[in-house]
Amino acid sequence: MNNPTRKNQEEVYRNLYENHKGTSMAVSSESQAHKRLRFNEICGIFENEQEKFTVHDVGMGLAQLYEFMLANFSDLNWEYSGTEILHEYVTECRNKYPDINFYNRDLAVTPGEDYYDYLLLSGVFHQRRESKIGDWERFSQNILRNAFHMCKKGISFNFISPFVDFYQTQVYYANLPKLLNFIIDDLGRFFVLKHNYALYEFTVYVYKESYIKGLHPDSEFKKYFKVEE
C-alpha cells in the first residue's frame, strides 16, 4: 500500500522548516497558545494514569509535544518516542534529544512492530494542501488504523471541525459521519469525541476493548465485551 499524500506533505513541511526555523510556523502552528490548548486535549487520554505508561507521537514534527509533557506531566511516570516522515525534523529531534527513540517512517503505509500504551496524533490531519480529499481521507484512515493496531490502551487525535464560520482552501474539514463510521467499523465503539474547547477543531480518544473491559471487572458487564479474558 502506498501513501499518495506523502510527497506533497514532505514538500510543505520542508518548506516551512527551512523558512520559519525557531518559530511555531516551522510545523505550521499558529501560536504557542494554540499548541498548548491542542496538546492539553490530546494528553487528556492519559491524564489519570497512575502507573508507568508509554506514549508514541505520530507525526511528531519537532517533538514539541514532548516539551509540553515535560512541562505539564512531570508528576506522571511516562516514556515518550515519536515517528515522522520528514527526515529534517527527525534529525533535529535526534540531535536535541539523543536518548529518545525517533523513527523516520510512514505509519500510513504499514504498522510498526513496536507497541505503546497510547499513540497520539496532533495536527497531522489539518493541512491537506495539494492532496485530493479522497486521498486524504484514505491516508487518515490508514494511519489511524495502524496506530490503533500499535496501541495497548488507546489513541488520541484531532481534526478540524466541519462546524466553522469560514473555509480555507487546502485545509481538511473532517467529514464527521464518515469518520464516526470508520471509528465504529474499523476501530471500535469505545470512543470519546471532545468538541468543547476554543479552537475550531475536535479531539477524539479511541480505546481498545480489552482496556475498557479491564475497567469493568463486575461480571454484570461481561456480556458487553467480545474479547477473551
State which residue, 46 or 89, has the beta carbon closest to ligand SAM.
Answer: 89
Going by DSSP bridges, is the β-strand pair 191-194/201-207 parallel, antiparallel, or unpaired? antiparallel
Number of chain positions touching ligand SAM (CB under 6 A): 26
In angstroms, give the least distance from the CB of 106 to ligand SAM.
Answer: 5
85 lines the binding site for ligand SAM (CB under 6 A): yes
In the chain, the largest separation of any two C-alpha atoms, in whole Å, equals 58
Stretch that binds ligand SAM, among 59-67, 156-164, 166-174, 189-197 (CB under 6 A): 59-67
Residue 137 to residue 128: CA distance in whole angstroms: 10
185-205 burial, b if ≥16 CB within 10 A, otherwise e? eebbebeeeeeeeeeebbbbb
175 lines the binding site for ligand SAM (CB under 6 A): no
**Please, which of residues 178-197 interact with ligand SAM by CB under 6 A?**
none
State which residue, 21 or 189, has the beta carbon closest to ligand SAM.
Answer: 21
State which residue, 10 or 209, has the beta carbon closest to ligand SAM.
Answer: 10
Q: Pick one of 54, 61, 144, 208: the residue that binds ligand SAM (CB under 6 A).
A: 61
State which residue, 59 or 154, has the beta carbon closest to ligand SAM.
Answer: 59
16 lines the binding site for ligand SAM (CB under 6 A): no
**Please, which of residues 114-173 interact with ligand SAM by CB under 6 A?**
122-124, 126-127, 143
84 lines the binding site for ligand SAM (CB under 6 A): yes
State which residue, 13 or 78, has the beta carbon closest to ligand SAM.
Answer: 13
Q: Pick one of 45, 107, 151, 204: the residue that binds ligand SAM (CB under 6 A).
A: 107
Contacts with ligand SAM by CB under 6 A lie at: 3, 6, 9, 13, 27-29, 58-61, 64, 83-86, 89, 106-108, 122-124, 126-127, 143
